């Protein structure tokens, strides 16, 4: 991979860290700001909604700008947003700063996906996307303990200053390593052409596939701590090591998904989502067995993040030329919508349904809907879809 791809990885790590770090700081923020823990938790929801709303708006607003300049501007927003979080004197301004920071998220991964695929040959496009998302994978693994450690020893504000410093490093490596003309279109598409991508059934199917295909992960993962303690019977001190197993699975799955998608996008799409359904189905009856549960948590990480590169490349291919950046950004928004949907479905299952032990089955059902949409997309596009040309069919 070109070094420029790994510059995107560094930036992805910073953006992913600021998304997940808040989970390890809730108690400190709630105490300092004088709000309840659920209210502090809304800082996570506010960020996700900011990603969902900001991705298409900023993508369209920056569509005529050189993509390297867009990436640098987004990192500047990221740095400013985290600094504002560190300085926020009250809860309202902290929420506003979180939303400001989130605006960089969706558009960065959308533009970054297009830039990454433009840096490599056609046979390595999915692997380039996967390489960028390794940064997000590492952030998922380290963001929460990183934030918890800073919150315990140096205060939650110091954690946000540290993330802002990561943003400064990312800005520097992007400025140094990403070519000025990467991903530049000779003719800038009109706004009408950009928006026309939303009228394509395959694009809409792809976005819906991302939402439902990924929602199953967060139906379970949002409540992984009570699952492991109350259902599996693990000690609270064992949760962190199990999450490290999950993180290792994420890294392996991310690489595997890119490798599979480079060798056949349609096949990779169906295989990875199908594998996620399978792991969730097996997990349900195995939750009371400690060793099996730990192994399946790792397998869940592998299966879940193996879907990321195929889902992202699928949208790029379905959108074609004019709408690729918008489609890629919308797909990041779809991932975040899937996160929110999964957490909601899991909460509903616990509060009004069969309870914690049923979460993997509910998650499997949600993900199976995504698999059905993926099958429909591949079937409808078999004759003319870019999915077929990627596989050489």
300, 244 Cβ separation under 8 angstroms:
no
Domains of the chain in start order, with CATH, are 1-188 (1.20.1250.20), 189-393 (1.20.1250.20)
Long-range contacts at 188-194 (CB < 8 A, ≥ 24 apart): 188/63, 188/64, 189/63, 189/321, 189/322, 189/323, 191/60, 191/63, 193/322, 193/323, 194/60, 194/63, 194/322, 194/323, 194/326
pLDDT of residue 58: 86
Q: What confidence tens digit (pLDDT) does each residue in 260-284 have?
A: 888 888 899 999 999 999 999 999 9
Q: What confidence tens digit (pLDDT) does each residue in 43-100 have?
A: 877 888 888 888 888 888 887 888 899 999 999 999 999 999 999 999 999 999 999 9
- Rounded CA gap, 179 and 188, in Å? 19
Q: What confidence tens digit (pLDDT) does each residue in 356-382 have?
A: 899 999 999 999 999 999 998 888 766
- Rounded CA gap, 330 and 339, in Å? 14
Q: What is the pTM of this model?
A: 0.74
pLDDT of residue 20: 76
Q: DSSP string of 108-160?
A: HHHHHHHHHHHTS-GGGHHHHHHHHHHHHHHHHHHHHHHHHHHHHHT-HHHHH
Say which residue the tokens 């026309």 belong to.
196
% pLDDT > 70, the chain: 91
């Amino acid at each position: 991979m070109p070094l420029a791809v790994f510059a995107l990885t560094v930036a992805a790590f910073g953006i992913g860290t600021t998304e997940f770090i808040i989970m390890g700081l809730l108690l400190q923020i709630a105490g300092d700001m004088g709000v309840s823990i659920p209210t502090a938790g809304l800082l996570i929801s506010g960020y996700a909604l900011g990603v969902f709303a900001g991705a298409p708006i900023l993508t369209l607003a920056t569509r005529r700008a050189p993509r390297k300049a867009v990436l640098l501007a987004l990192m500047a927003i990221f740095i400013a947003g985290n600094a504002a979080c560190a300085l926020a004197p009250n809860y309202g301004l902290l929420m506003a700063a979180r939303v400001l920071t989130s605006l960089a998220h969706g558009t960065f991964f959308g533009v970054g996906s297009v830039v990454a695929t433009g840096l490599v040959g056609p046979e390595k496009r999915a692997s380039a996307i996967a390489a960028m998302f390794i940064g997000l994978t590492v952030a998922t693994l380290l963001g929460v303990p990183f934030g918890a450690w800073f919150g315990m020893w140096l205060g939650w504000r110091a954690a946000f200053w540290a993330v802002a410093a990561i943003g400064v490093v990312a800005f520097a490596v992007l400025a140094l390593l990403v070519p000025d003309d990467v991903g530049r279109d000779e003719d800038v598409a009109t706004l009408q052409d950009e928006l026309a991508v939303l009228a394509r059934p395959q694009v809409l199917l792809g976005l819906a596939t991302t939402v439902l295909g990924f929602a199953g992960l967060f139906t379970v993962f949002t409540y992984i701590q009570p699952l492991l303690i109350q259902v599996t019977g693990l000690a609270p001190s064992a949760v962190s090591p199990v999450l490290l197993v999950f993180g290792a699975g994420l890294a392996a799955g991310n690489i595997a998904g890119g490798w599979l998608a480079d060798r056949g996008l349609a096949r990779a799409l169906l295989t990875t989502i199908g594998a996620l359904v399978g792991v969730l189905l097996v997990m349900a009856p195995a939750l009371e067995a400690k060793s099996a549960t730990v192994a399946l948590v790792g397998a869940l990480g592998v299966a879940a993040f193996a879907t990321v590169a195929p889902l992202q490349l699928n949208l790029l291919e379905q959108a074609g030329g004019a709408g690729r950046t918008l489609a890629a950004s919308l797909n990041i928004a779809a991932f975040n919508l899937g996160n929110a949907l999964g957490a909601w479905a899991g909460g509903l299952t616990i509060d009004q349904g069969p309870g914690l032990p049923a979460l993997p089955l509910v998650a499997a059902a949600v993900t199976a809907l995504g698999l059905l949409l993926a099958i429909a997309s591949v079937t409808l596009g078999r004759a003319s879809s870019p999915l077929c040309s990627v596989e050489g069919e």
